[in-house]
Amino acid sequence: MEHPPLISVEGLSKRFPTRAGDVHALEDVNFSIPRGSIVGLVGESGSGKTTLGRCILRLVEPSEGRVMFDGQNILDLPPKELRALRRRMQIIFQDPFSSLNPRMRVRTIIEEGLIAHRLGGTSRERRDRVATLLEEVGLQADHMTRFAHEFSGGQRQRVGIARALAIEPEFIVADESVSALDVSVQAQILNLLLDLCEARNLTMLFIAHDLSVVEYLCDQVVVMYLGHVVENGSTALVHSQPAHPYTTALLSAAPVPDPFAGRDRNILKGEIPSPLSPPSGCVFHTRCPLMVEHCRQAVPELRAVGGRRVACHRAEDVLAMGPATGAAATL
């Protein structure tokens, strides 16, 4: 890569202490997000993807590791400098029903960030800015006097996007931002996100559980399982030739909207283990169809195999078998 990445996550770990012991939410996570790209973060619930998104914005304080934002480690910045850096990053939440304050008018919601960062100028200037933003996300300027409950789910998500864009961030974390939407509305919002990313040269971390959305939207994908990155590479490559058995299983479990597609697939047995006591060795070994004795003992390192990074002792074997598990999530 010619340019240094905008975001670089290095050795990031997060443990939540509980009475029953530590919850290992993230374990030694390493990956980077190139400037201007969209990186997808996928995994089942409990894989740590939301925690990772929040650690990167320092909304959650990580236990160990570094998050480099444009060359600065945001984890050891003093509050004042962190605040200046925060202006360059934003988050769009999953649920447009609970992430907008029901007592605020849309204008207040959107201009709050402008005021907090002293960017807005006079009240009239802020008003004009809100109007422009609303139009940019496909709403109307006169919507600014309304309350959140007066909008449909898709429109609310547009308000959430306008709010995030108000302070002109360079980096956005979209945490399951289209998951709660109906498919026709979801398509509108995906198009909008693509338009905005291209027009404003945004860098985005797109957290999702829907692999087809990630395949459509993202340049790169990070697959997580139980707090570990198990595979990371270009979306096209990972989707067509997964090298980790978990990626293979995830792709094959995704329902394919084609009744004529093959239904011969490998269904993963069991469920994600508890992060209170993660399995020894490779955390996936308890559900892995390719498990050998070595996997129980040695933690696989994230290493380069066939053009991507993968954490599996048997990645070469997985690649050699091909996406033989039947229906991959390609249409």
Partner 1 sequence: MHTSSPPLAPPTLEVTALQTSFIYKRFSVKAVRDVSLRLERGKTLALVGESGSGKSVAALSLMGLLPPAGRIVGGQAVYRQADGTTHDLARLQRRQMRRLSGPDLAMIFQEPMTSLNPLLTVGDQIVEMLLTHERLSREAARKRTLDILRLVEIPAAERRIDDYPHQMSGGMRQRIVIAMALVCNPALLIADEPTTALDVTIQAQILDLMRRLQAELGMSILFITHDLGVVAEIAHQVAVMYAGEVVEQAEVGQLFSSPAHPYTQGLLSSIPHAMRKNPEEGRRARLNPIPGSVPPIHALPEGCTFRPRCPHSEQRCTLPVTLETAGPGHRTRCWKWEAVQWSTRH
Nearest to 38 by CA among 136, 171, 191: 171
Q: Taking CB under 8 A as the rule, does residue 185 contact partner 1?
A: yes
Q: Which of 22, 85, 141, 153 binds partner 1 (CB under 8 A)?
A: 153
| Cβ pair 212, 251 in contact under 8 A | no
Q: Taking CB under 8 A as the rule, does residue 176 contact partner 1?
A: no
Q: Which of 68, 77, 237, 253 binds partner 1 (CB under 8 A)?
A: 253
Q: Taking CB under 8 A as the rule, does residue 291 contact partner 1?
A: no
Q: Which of 123, 140, 145, 191 binds partner 1 (CB under 8 A)?
A: 191
Q: Taking CB under 8 A as the rule, does residue 254 contact partner 1?
A: yes
Q: Taking CB under 8 A as the rule, does residue 44 contact partner 1?
A: yes
CB of 158 to partner 1, least distance (A): 11
Q: Which of 125, 150, 198, 317 binds partner 1 (CB under 8 A)?
A: 198
Q: Taking CB under 8 A as the rule, does residue 187 contact partner 1?
A: yes
Beta strands in the chain (DSSP E): 7-18, 21-33, 38-42, 64-69, 72-73, 89-92, 171-175, 203-208, 220-225, 228-234, 303-305, 308-310
- φ and ψ of 294, to 5 deg: -55, -35
Q: Taking CB under 8 A as the rule, does residue 278 contact partner 1?
A: no
Place of tokens 């709010």: 163
Longest dimension (CA), the chain: 68
Query: In this structure, what token pair is assigned to residue 10?
Result: 């290095």
Q: Taking CB under 8 A as the rule, does residue 213 contact partner 1?
A: yes
**Is 43 strand, coil or helix?**
coil
Residue ranges in contact with partner 1 by CB under 8 A: 44-45, 152-155, 182-188, 190-191, 194, 198, 209-213, 215-217, 236, 239, 249-250, 252-261, 263, 265, 267-272, 330-331
